[in-house]
Amino acid sequence: MIIQPLNEQHLSVMMAIEVSANAFPWSEQNMSSCFGARYFHFGMFDQAQLVGFYIAEMAGPDFTLMDIGVHPQYQGKGIASQLMAHLVEQSQTRGAENIFLEVRASNQAAIHLYNKVGFCEMGIRKNYYPAATGNEDAILMGLPFNPFAM
């Protein structure tokens, strides 16, 4: 397995992973809008097969993890943990002071993953996401690289 940069040519495979891994996946239009100078993207490859990816946005010193996903057949093998470690390293190299993200309150796998990397809960957005019945809260999480400067 190897982590490599992604570009728009990987969009359809990223979307296939997105759709297979999420009950409420991003649209292709949404994902397509996350290519450009403001973003960076990396994927985990098993031979030539993309099996997981992340997308990050850079806004000055504040970076955002826009999306991360691992194909269901490859989940539970530490792939997202490796991708998150890569995101942290890339963000520090690119001058980030913080990484932020939003996650569904019910997404225990992702929340566990983010806590493991060092993200802390910073707030709640009530009823932010559509859910099977009604709406669901988003938890805002952050990872400051120099917490004493905040």
Q: At CB < 8 A and 24+ separation, what contacts does 88-95 make? A: 88/117, 88/118, 88/143, 90/40, 90/42, 90/56, 91/56, 91/63, 91/145, 92/145, 94/40, 94/58, 94/63, 95/61
Could you say which of 27, 30, 108, 135 contacts ligand COA (CB under 6 A)? 108
DSSP, res 81: H
Residue 102 bears catalytic tag:
yes
- Residue 117 lies near ligand COA (rule: CB under 6 A): no
Q: 114 catalytic, yes or no?
A: yes
Q: Is 107 annotated as a binding residue?
A: yes
Residue 35 in tokens:
């290519």
Helix (H) or strand (E) holding 146: none
Residue window 40-79: x/- pattern of binding to ligand COA, with contact defined by CB under 6 A: ----------------------------xxx----xxxxx
Using CB under 6 A as the binding rule, the residues of this chain from 79 to 98 that contact ligand COA are 79-81
70 marked among binding-site residues: yes
> Which chain residues interact with ligand COA by CB under 6 A?
21-22, 68-70, 75-81, 103, 107-110, 112-113, 116
Binding residue ranges for acetyl-CoA: 68-70, 107
